Amino acid sequence: MIQVTVQSLGLDQTSKTPVVILREADGGRVLPIWIGPAEASAIAMALAGMKFSRPLTHDLFPALIKGLGGTLTRVLITRVEDNTYYAEMLIRRGDEVFVVDARPSDSIAIALRTDAEIYTSDDLLSGTAVQFAPMEDEPEPGAADPAGEPEAGEPPKLSAEQLKEHLRKLNPEDLGRFNP
């Protein structure tokens, strides 16, 4: 497993969906994960160090862990299946370690509040989680229309390899800024 840090939050301009950008701690690879607006707000508030007089949802879990004598030691972003990422939170209480299945976005928001480390696999950093298959009536990705070019206003169709390369070169500044 490779340690990652939250580099930034952005807003995918195409889907208007928040994206958390995780960067390899000792390298330049990034892992973009599309998340929900509530989780993006929770991550943004933790990154900004915002505290509220009453606990918000993502503040409750660290309080419960601590109240039960545990510590969130790390978050593992383990895999992606059908464009859905999976994570595990490792909680230590004495000599016991509990593994809790969770969404990466919630896990990240909680890890930021507890100073827990975040890890992912080399496969997720090296590859892409964006998977697609053409519908039966659609041409294969990367195939040109009869005129040979995409229609005006439409992004060019990319093959799986082209998409992987595009995501590898993705600069977080290319995404819009997420504002909670």
Number of domains within the chain: 1
Cβ pair 53, 123 in contact under 8 A: no
Checking if the pLDDT of 1 tops 50, the result is yes
pLDDT of residue 94: 96
Phi and psi at residue 73, in whole multiples of 5°? -90, -35
Checking if the pLDDT of 153 tops 50, the result is no
pLDDT of residue 43: 94
Cβ pair 17, 38 in contact under 8 A: no
Checking if the pLDDT of 7 tops 60, the result is yes
> pLDDT digits over 109-132, tens only?
999 999 999 999 999 988 743 332
* CATH number reported for the structural domain that contains residue 115 in this entry: 3.10.690.10
Residue 135 — very low, low, confident or very high, per pLDDT cuts 50/70/90? very low
Note down the domain range covering 91.
2-130+170-177
pLDDT of residue 53: 86
pLDDT of residue 148: 43
Strands 84-93, 71-81: pairing is: antiparallel
Whether 140 is in a domain gets the answer no
Cβ pair 157, 143 in contact under 8 A: yes
Whether 148 is in a domain gets the answer no
Whether 69 is in a domain gets the answer yes
Minimum mean pLDDT range among 103-107, 124-128, 137-141: 137-141
